[in-house]
Amino acid sequence: MKINKKVVILSGLIIVSSIYSFIFFKNTQSIYTTGDLSFHLSRIKGLSTIFTSPINYETFNYTGYGVNYFYPFLTFFPAVMLYWMTKNLIVSYIIYVWLLNLCTTLVAYHYGERFLKQKKAAFLFSCLYIFSAYRTVDIYYRSAIAEAIAITLVIPVLFYAYQIISGKEEKYPSVKLALSMSLLVYSHVLSTLMSTALIIIFIFIRLVSKGFKNADFIAIFKKLFSAAGMTLVLTSAFWYPMFEQMLYQKINKPSVTNLYAHASNVFDSLTEAMNNDLTTYSMGLVGLLSLCIPLILFKKLTNIEKKIYYGTCLTWLATTSLVPWYLLQNTPAKLLQFPWRILSLQIIFSSLILTMIFFKNRRYNKTRELFYLGASIILCK
């Protein structure tokens, strides 16, 4: 009987994401103590009454905290539905994280296959992405679940933006970008701003590239403007009530941090990556390899591979003190709070470039593939 390759790959992704999900939840008693989890568990409980009262007076120490006006929750709402079914915050959270990891592997695989044009390459990209050090820290150490959701959604956002900006053939690209961006807005606003900044950089690179014509710019502008307009309409359910509240009363804004003080020293960043310590905000050993290996093979890289490698390097450097963050302290960049958040974008570039380099040499065999995949998972952990 012939085995469907796609079924095997999807089954493998489900198994990998399941192992990754539950291996960190061996001790459920310690879950309450991690990062921002108490905040997000309170959100789950608070959202359980969203249809009867937008503000829940039984959470956040009975203060009537209007968090739902300022913290989008659409993509987090499945956790609430699980809470309705299980009546247990921890169980509902664990199941939700498993579903999120599963969705992340499938999303990374789908768009990896579309970009890389190979199923095996897409599988490797998906594994590297889900096991990336920063994403692991985000979920299991910081418990920054909203940002973790955004890490899943930023892939389609950047993919469709790339399709539009590079002039690739795509049906309804503006609609797809708008839907992806809207889901990102409904997950994590800061990640939306970071992705938008990266898209602007994509546009600038396209403008200065050879062979670019004014007609291309007009076509790109129309599609992006259309996507922006649709996104604005689709996300009005979030931003309209938020601005209404901001105009009605004085709002305590998020704390402003010293960006330069939270930027990593270059050598410390490299050391933390080499140690692959999941209690620090580093790119991990895989991220470090994504800086070193392409540099050795730089002359053999194609133009697109070089651009992805530049993206890998620059998004890492942006997290360090080499960037004069003190000059940006009084600009909108202060909303970032911590420069290491840019690693959420760096893991896309690093996972891509390592995958592309591995499959660059077509004379590989299955033993080598399995070895590389296993080594990647171990290194990520």
Q: Residue 379 has what pLDDT?
A: 47
Q: Where are the beta strands (DSSP E) in the chain?
A: none
Termini Cα distance of the chain = 36
Domain boundaries along the sequence of the chain: 257-380
pLDDT of residue 241: 85
Q: What are the b/e assignments for 160-171, b being 16+ CB within 10 Å? A: bbbbbbeeeebe
Q: Are 43 and 159 in contact (CB under 8 A)?
A: no
86: Cβ contacts below 8 Å, ≥ 6 apart: 92, 95
State residue 129's pLDDT score: 94
Cα–Cα distance for residue pair 274/272, rounded to 1 Å: 5
Q: List the pLDDT tens digit at each of the 381 positions of the chain.
A: 456 777 888 888 888 888 888 777 765 555 555 678 888 888 998 898 888 887 878 777 777 777 888 889 999 999 999 999 999 998 899 999 999 999 999 999 999 999 999 888 999 999 999 989 999 988 888 889 999 999 999 999 999 999 999 888 778 899 999 999 999 999 999 999 999 999 999 998 888 877 677 767 888 889 999 999 999 999 999 989 888 887 887 777 777 788 998 899 999 999 988 888 777 888 988 899 999 999 998 989 999 999 999 999 999 999 999 999 999 998 888 888 899 999 999 999 999 999 999 887 655 555 555 555 555 554 455
Whole-prediction pTM value?
0.90
H or E element: which one contains 63?
none
pLDDT of residue 34: 64
Handedness of CA 146, 183, 67, 76 (dihedral sign): negative
Q: Looking at residue 205, what is its pLDDT?
A: 87
pLDDT at 373: 56
Which of 101, 96, 93, 97 shows the shortest CA–CA distance to 42?
93
User: What's the DSSP call for residue 264?
Assistant: B
Interhelix angle 343-358/89-116, rounded to 10 degrees, is: 50
